[in-house]
Chains A and B, each alone.
Chain A
Amino acid sequence: MISNATELNVVLHQLSSFADMLEALRLDAESSGEWALFSHLSKGYFIKIHDLNDEIRAYLQEQDLVSGDAKAMGTTALRP
């Protein structure tokens, strides 16, 4: 679970690394026309990328809720 912006950056770095590696495997398969290995090896990358996306989304949603609450509180405070 991501708990701050620094951890978000680390998870984004991991996401980009795994996405690049998946892309490298795809480019390799595309140039050779050999998709069996891609299909076999890509499984783990898809699962990991999916998990990292979920982690990022959960953190961003939480941040949005927090900032939404703060905004609501600010608005309430400004009301006469």
Chain B
Amino acid sequence: MMPTFRSDGWLPEGHHQATWIEIQELFGGPPGSVRSILMERLLEWTDELKESGLGGFLVLDGSFISSKREPGDIDCILVLNHESEAIVKSNDKARELTDYLKCKERGLGDIFGFLESTVRKHPTFCRLDGYDFDRSGIPKGVIEVQI
């Protein structure tokens, strides 16, 4: 069950596991809204990731997962699973889908690729907490969802 927004518009502190249905319900916005356009972009991108055989999870952050009516874009960390590493290395489409600048071009925002295997090998350097504070230093929540 997803938590509700705090009065400052952010989710409560923590990495909240969510399903795509919950994400659509909470952040998808009404039809035709900025939110719905961003949601569509996010779903199109993740569908293409899956079609290319890529898997893992996303750590979603930024105004998209706040209560802001018109968020600017979608920021996230894309943590690719072990099987995806070989696919990214060998498949042009998979490389394009995980390319920071290409993701920007399709209006997604800052998408940072990372590897699950790196999390296991170098846990102390694997900081998925870069977005855990708002600009005034108050801890806030982010969303984790399986691709």
Main secondary structure of the interface of A (DSSP, over half): helix
Instruction: List 11 A-B residue pairs with CB atoms under 8 Å apart, sorted by A's residue number.
Output: A14-B130, A14-B131, A24-B126, A25-B115, A27-B118, A31-B121, A37-B85, A40-B88, A40-B113, A41-B115, A48-B110
Q: Interface 1/0s, chain B 103-116, versus A by CB < 8 A?
A: 00000001111110
Report the interface size class on chain A: 20 to 34
Residue of B nearest to A3 (CB): B135
Q: A23 to chain B: which residues have CB within 8 Å?
A: 122, 125
**B101 beta carbon closer than 8 Å to chain A:** yes
Report which B residues bind A (CB closer than 8 A): 85, 88-89, 95, 98-101, 110-115, 117-119, 121-122, 124-127, 129-131, 133-137
Residue among A14, A17, A43, A47 with the highest chain B CB neighbour number at 10 A:
A17
A45 and B136 within 8 A (CB): no
Q: How distant is B13 from chain A, measured CB to nearest CB, in Å?
A: 14
Q: How distant is A14 from chain B, measured CB to nearest CB, in Å?
A: 5
- Determine the distance from Cα of A36 to Cα of B87 in the docked complex, in whole angstroms: 12
